[in-house]
């Protein structure tokens, strides 16, 4: 299991066909459009310069919109995941 560090989150990116569910349409051709993903795991948050821990906002199971080229890709047990900073997430879709 992937346990993200600091303010990072682990995302499972929703593939094209999935993106028509719930009315969210990201034109396939539109490279720079933001992406949709499910939050799989959330880090403990980041400690600021003042030693204050800023807890994460999103939680496991949220569907989120995120910046297209954010994060690093990794494959675990045959599944593709993305590890990104929470600040790369634009909005929650509910």
Tokens 């675990």, residue located: 76
What's the chain's length in residues?
94
CA–CA dist 58, 36 (Å, integer): 14
Would you put residue 6 in left (φ > 0), alpha (ψ -120 to 50) or beta?
left
Under the binding rule (CB under 8 A), the answer on residue 60 touching a second copy is no
**Site for a second copy, residues 19 to 58, rule: CB under 8 A:** 23-27, 30, 32-34, 41, 43-44, 47-52, 54, 57-58
Binding site for a second copy (CB under 8 A): 1-6, 8, 10, 23-27, 30, 32-34, 41, 43-44, 47-52, 54, 57-58, 64-65, 67-68, 72-78, 83, 86-87, 89-94
């Amino acid at each position: 299991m992937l346990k993200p560090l600091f303010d990072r989150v682990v995302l499972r990116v929703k593939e094209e066909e999935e993106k028509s569910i719930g009315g969210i349409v990201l034109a396939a051709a539109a490279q720079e459009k933001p992406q949709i993903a499910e939050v799989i795991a959330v880090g403990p948050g980041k400690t600021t310069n003042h030693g204050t821990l800023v807890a994460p906002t999103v939680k496991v199971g949220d569907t989120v919109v995120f910046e297209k080229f954010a994060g690093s890709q990794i494959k675990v047990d045959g599944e593709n995941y993305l590890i990104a900073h929470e600040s790369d997430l634009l909005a929650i879709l509910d």
